[in-house]
Each structure stands twice: as structure tokens, then as C-alpha cells.
């Protein structure tokens, strides 16, 4: 692990951020607030600044922060400027940030989803490595706030593959709905539970079919719920299967 984020990357980030919506006054307002929070001295605390341009001013200010602070500021600036996560250079910057410098991430910020549910689901998926990899990929994308459509797509595919393996067929998730109800009943589940799962999977597939095709339409606040719902489906189906063994 490196002990710093290279200045070349900080400079690149400053260029992308200032080219994609960060104004001079906002630059000063935001970085000054971070400087106050972290008790850091920065050169540009008022606008207009002495730097020749926004990119240089942002770079000058970012260089004054510690690596973990730089990581947080860059990530949060990307989110401020692109709150809906639309495909843009800001998303590409976030991907590069978390893929190359994730050692500087504050892991406490990556635990919005119920930790116990995730750990239990990953445990139950140990015998299904293909499904577990898709689940882990979706979790990484969710934690870093990028590729929201792909997060949903990974979750749906993971659930679809798992259901295929449990039921011994290659049907799409939409075509598994009556078979899922039958599976639940065969494993000792109540008729009411079987009917509930059929209805939920029906709505789940309709939701996914709407949003996985249109990245701009994905509602960020709903992804956590879909993640937890998918995890609950997986864990319960695997529990039912284990009873059969």
C-alpha cells in the first residue's frame, strides 16, 4: 500500500471536477469547509483567488490534505456534482479513485446496508461461487456509488442464476415465478408464504426490467432496499434448500 495518492492523480481529479460543474465560488466554499473540519491550512480561502484558474486553485487546496481526506473530498465532490450518478467523466473518476486508491477509503462509510444480512447471505452463497461473485461485484459498485444500473443488473442476474441452480433449470426469473411458489411449498413453507414470494418476485422482475435498461432512471435511494430484498430472497431460498438435504 502506498502512503499517498500521487500528485498526478490529484491534478487529474482537479481537472475533471472543475471541467464538470465546480465553480470558483463553490470550490472555495467547499474546500474551506473541509479545511475547517480537518483543521488544515489551505492557500485559497476566498474568491476570487490568486491562482490562474479553477483547476490550479483546487489542486493547490487538495494537496494540503492528508491522503484519506483527499480521497473523501474527491469522492464527495463527484457526488455533489453528479448526485444522480449519470454516466459522465465524474463517474469514470470515481471508478479510478476506488479501484486504484481504495486503501484510503473510510470503510465506515461503506456499511449502509445491514451488515449482518450481508454476512449471512455471503455465507449461504459459499457453495455457489458464480452467484457469490456477482453479489460481491454488486456490493462493491454500491459501496462506491457507481454504475447503479449495473448494480441492479448484477443483483438480478445473481438471483436468477441461484434460482436456476436450486430448481435445476435454465429459465428466466420471470418464468420461474410459479416454480418458486411450488419450491417453497415443497420445502415445508406455507401456502401464504409461497404466494407472497410469487408476488414479490413478480414485482421484483418488473422493477428490474424497468430500471436496468435506463441508468438515468435509477433512483439511488431505492438501491439499498433492492439489495436487502435480493439478499433476503437468496438467504431464505438457500435455507429452504438446506432443509431438503
Considering the domain boundaries, does residue 185 fall inside one?
yes
Considering the domain boundaries, does residue 1 fall inside one?
no
Is 141 within 8 Å of 134 (Cβ atoms)? no
**What is the predicted pLDDT for the residue at 44?**
96
Whether residue 151 sits in one domain with residue 73 = no
Whether residue 233 sits in one domain with residue 214 = yes
Whether residue 134 sits in one domain with residue 70 = no
Q: Which residues contact 196 (CB under 8 A, 6 or more apart)?
A: none
In tens, the pLDDT along 34-78 reads: 998 889 999 999 999 999 999 999 999 999 999 999 998 998 898
Whether residue 91 sits in one domain with residue 33 = yes
Residue 115 pLDDT exceeds 60: yes
Last residue of a domain, one of 84, 108, 132: 108
Whether residue 97 sits in one domain with residue 127 = no
Of 65, 73, 84, the closest CA to residue 13 belongs to 73
Residue 5 pLDDT exceeds 70: yes
Last residue of a domain, one of 63, 91, 108: 108
Whether residue 91 sits in one domain with residue 181 = no
The predicted model scores a pTM of: 0.59
In tens, the pLDDT along 126-140 reads: 889 999 999 988 888
Q: Is 207 helix (H, G, I), strand (E, B) or coil?
A: helix
Domain hosting residue 197, numbered range: 111-244
Whether residue 185 sits in one domain with residue 121 = yes
Amino acid at each position: 500500500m502506498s502512503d499517498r495518492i500521487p500528485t498526478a492523480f490529484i491534478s487529474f481529479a482537479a481537472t475533471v471536477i472543475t471541467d464538470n460543474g465546480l465553480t470558483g465560488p463553490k470550490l472555495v466554499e467547499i474546500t474551506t469547509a473541509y479545511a475547517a473540519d480537518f483543521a488544515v491550512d489551505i492557500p485559497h480561502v476566498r474568491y476570487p483567488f490568486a491562482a490562474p484558474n479553477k483547476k490550479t486553485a483546487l489542486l493547490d487546496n487538495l494537496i494540503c490534505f492528508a491522503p484519506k481526506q483527499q480521497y473523501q473530498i474527491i469522492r464527495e465532490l463527484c457526488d455533489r456534482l453528479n448526485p444522480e450518478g449519470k454516466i459522465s467523466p465524474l463517474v469514470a473518476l470515481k471508478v479510478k479513485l476506488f479501484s486504484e486508491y481504495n486503501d484510503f477509503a473510510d470503510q465506515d462509510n461503506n456499511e449502509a446496508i445491514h451488515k449482518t444480512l450481508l454476512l449471512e447471505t455471503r455465507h449461504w452463497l459459499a457453495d455457489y461461487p458464480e452467484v457469490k461473485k456477482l453479489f460481491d461485484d454488486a456490493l462493491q459498485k454500491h459501496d462506491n456509488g457507481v454504475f447503479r444500473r449495473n448494480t441492479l443488473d448484477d443483483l438480478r442476474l445473481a438471483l436468477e442464476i441461484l434460482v436456476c441452480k436450486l430448481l435445476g433449470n435454465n429459465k428466466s426469473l420471470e418464468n420461474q415465478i410459479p416454480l418458486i411458489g411450488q419450491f417453497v411449498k415443497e420445502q415445508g413453507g406455507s401456502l401464504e408464504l409461497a404466494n407472497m414470494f410469487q408476488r414479490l418476485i413478480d414485482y421484483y422482475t418488473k422493477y428490474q426490467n424497468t430500471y436496468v435498461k435506463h441508468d438515468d432512471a435509477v433512483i439511488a435511494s431505492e438501491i439499498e432496499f433492492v439489495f436487502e430484498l435480493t439478499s433476503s430472497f437468496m438467504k431464505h431460498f438457500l435455507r429452504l434448500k438446506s432443509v431438503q438435504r
